[in-house]
């Protein structure tokens, strides 16, 4: 057993403080609490970190306020292409999917890949495989919301949130896991893949740290952001400094965004280059705490 109680930390994507964010604040809070509750239920039934991270992200994929699952950002042709990844630190098991157009819960498809011999599956083949293994499929239009359509056409008020969703978890056995799911960036060309499903860029977990990122994916890919944090941790750099240094590197490449991370001691870090990154944390023995414009320790 680990010396520290389980911890689940989530994010609902980076963004700006906008009127739309304020308008939807109560709904965001409720959705974040729902995601923490889903992960907590898993951990309280002695589920492991990967199951808890997956459950929290699946819950956020179900809420159209977030850029994942239904409500995803749209490609320039109005279609939705979704990506997701999961990684378990204890054995570096990893599963990821990119360019899904029909799978209702991309994070469940990523889990199927994690449980297979592959690490990354793309497009139609990944959807088909998810369908064969029983994951619900929907017409692409199911994922398209009025808000995202207006946003693509430049008619939406500034979006409440641009980002991806993610979760990192430390379980009672000391195992770390990370999960990330996204519709990418609004107006992206079809076929573009960001950092979220790329192991080591937007998602990573090993025995030192679990990381999930959100923001301009290209900058996170070019800096290998999530893996960079793991390497810094391995060389003895404290969690907060490691995450700040990786994000400083991202900023050099005009990247905006943020990330969440947890280490085996239960320490968490969530540095940010953007205005906000709504999120929440649950620690065994405590109540869940969520924030919209605040940060862990300074929830608002
Ligand atoms: N990082 C994601 C991507 O580049 C999107 C986001 O987090 O806003 O696809």
**Domain limits of the chain?**
7-70+159-291
| pLDDT above 80 for 228 | yes
Work out the pLDDT band at 165, boundaries 50, 70, 90: very high
- With a 6 Å cutoff on the Cβ, whether 180 touches ligand 1 is no
- E strands, 120-238, are 120-122, 165-170, 176-182, 203-205, 210-215
Which of 103, 164, 214, 243 is the catalytic position?
164
Q: Indicate which atom in ligand 1 lies nearest the CA of residue 162.
A: 8
Residue nearest to atom 9 of ligand 1 (CA): 184
Residue nearest to atom 7 of ligand 1 (CA): 214
Q: Which of 216, 255, 275 to mutate to test the pocket of ligand 1 (most atoms within 8 A of CB)?
A: 216
Work out the pLDDT band at 16, boundaries 50, 70, 90: confident
- With a 6 Å cutoff on the Cβ, whether 182 touches ligand 1 is yes
- With a 6 Å cutoff on the Cβ, whether 214 touches ligand 1 is yes
| CATH number for the domain running over 7-70+159-291 | 3.60.20.30
Chain mean pLDDT for the chain: 93
Q: How far apart are CA 71 and CA 41, in angstroms?
A: 25
What proportion of the chain, given as a percentage, has pLDDT over 70? Answer: 95
Q: Which of 83, 215, 254, 273 to mutate to test the pocket of ligand 1 (most atoms within 8 A of CB)?
A: 215
Asked about 164 being catalytic, the answer comes back as yes
The whole-number pLDDT of residue 152 equals 86
Taking residues 236-251, report their average pLDDT. 97
Q: Which of 196, 258, 278 to mutate to test the pocket of ligand 1 (most atoms within 8 A of CB)?
A: 196
- With a 6 Å cutoff on the Cβ, whether 148 touches ligand 1 is no
CB 88 within 8 A of CB 103: no
Of the two residues 7 and 20, the one the predictor is more confident about is: 7
- With a 6 Å cutoff on the Cβ, whether 212 touches ligand 1 is no
Alpha helices, DSSP H, located in 161-272:
217-222, 225-234, 239-252
Q: How far apart are CA 187 and CA 62, in angstroms?
A: 22
Residue nearest to atom 8 of ligand 1 (CA): 163
Q: List, for residues 38-94, the tens digit of each pLDDT value.
A: 999 999 998 999 999 999 999 999 999 999 999 999 999 999 999 999 999 999 999
| Global confidence as pTM | 0.95
Alpha helices, DSSP H, located in the chain:
19-23, 25-44, 49-61, 106-114, 123-132, 146-152, 217-222, 225-234, 239-252
CB 256 within 8 A of CB 284: no
Per-residue buried b or exposed e for 57-77, using 16+ beta carbons within 10 Å of the residue's own CB: bbbbbbbbbbbbbbbbbbbee
- With a 6 Å cutoff on the Cβ, whether 223 touches ligand 1 is no
| pLDDT above 90 for 21 | no
Taking residues 176-197, report their average pLDDT. 96
| pLDDT above 50 for 2 | no
């Amino acid at each position: 057993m680990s010396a520290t109680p389980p911890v689940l930390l989530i994010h609902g994507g980076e963004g700006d403080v906008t009127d739309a964010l304020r308008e939807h604040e109560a709904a965001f809070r409720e959705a974040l609490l729902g995601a923490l509750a889903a992960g907590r239920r898993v951990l309280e039934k002695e589920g492991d970190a990967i199951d808890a991270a997956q459950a929290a992200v699946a819950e956020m994929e179900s809420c159209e306020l977030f850029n994942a699952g239904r409500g995803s950002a749209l490609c320039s042709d109005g279609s939705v292409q979704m990506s997701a990844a999961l990684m378990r630190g204890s054995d570096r098991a990893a599963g990821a999917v990119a360019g899904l157009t029909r799978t209702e819960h991309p994070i469940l498809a990523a889990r199927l890949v994690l449980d297979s011999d592959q690490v990354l599956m793309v497009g139609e083949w990944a959807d088909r495989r998810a369908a064969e293994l029983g994951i619900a499929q929907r017409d692409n239009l199911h994922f398209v919301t009025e808000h995202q359509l207006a946003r693509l056409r430049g008619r939406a008020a500034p979006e409440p949130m641009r980002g991806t969703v993610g979760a990192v978890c430390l379980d009672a056995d000391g195992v770390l896991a990370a999960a990330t799911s996204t519709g990418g960036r609004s107006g992206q060309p079809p076929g573009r893949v960001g950092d979220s499903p790329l192991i080591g860029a937007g998602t990573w977990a090993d025995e030192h740290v679990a990381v999930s990122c959100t923001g301009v994916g290209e900058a996170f890919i070019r800096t290998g952001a999530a893996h960079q944090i793991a390497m810094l941790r391995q060389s003895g750099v404290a969690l907060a400094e490691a995450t700040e240094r990786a994000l400083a590197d991202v900023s050099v490449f005009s990247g905006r965004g943020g990330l969440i991370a947890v280490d085996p001691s239960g320490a968490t870090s969530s540095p940010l280059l953007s205005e906000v990154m709504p999120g929440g944390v649950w620690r065994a023995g405590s109540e869940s705490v969520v924030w919209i414009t605040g940060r862990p320790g300074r929830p608002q």
